[in-house]
């Protein structure tokens, strides 16, 4: 939680935890557009990794395998 104060008259408006907040000061009427001071950075490694699994589709050892007569 952080203290939300008016940017104009420094009146304490609220205690809040926010990403973005718009609050109008009841004292001076200033509309305060606040943003969180320390936004959490996006986590790395969001990219999708493609797994090349082509080898398991066809096994060269079994490709020419024929059923023995019997």
| Nearest-5° Cα angle at 27, 14 to 22 | 45
Tell me which stretch binds Zn ion (CB under 5 A): 1-9, 14-22, 41-49, 56-64.
1-9
Q: Which is nearer to Zn ion, 15 or 63 (CB)?
A: 15
Q: Which is nearer to Zn ion, 35 or 67 (CB)?
A: 35
Q: Which of residues 5-64 bind Zn ion (CB under 5 A)?
A: 6, 8-9, 11, 25, 27-28, 30
Residues 37 and 10: their CA atoms lie apart, in Å, by: 17
Gyration radius (Cα) of the chain, Å: 31
């Amino acid at each position: 939680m952080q203290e939300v104060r008016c940017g104009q008259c420094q009146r304490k408006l609220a205690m809040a935890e926010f990403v973005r907040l718009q609050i109008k000061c009841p004292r001076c009427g200033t509309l305060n557009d606040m943003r969180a001071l320390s936004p959490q950075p996006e986590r790395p490694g969001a990219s999708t990794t493609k797994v090349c699994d082509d080898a398991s589709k066809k096994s060269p050892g079994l490709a020419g395998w024929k059923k023995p007569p019997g």
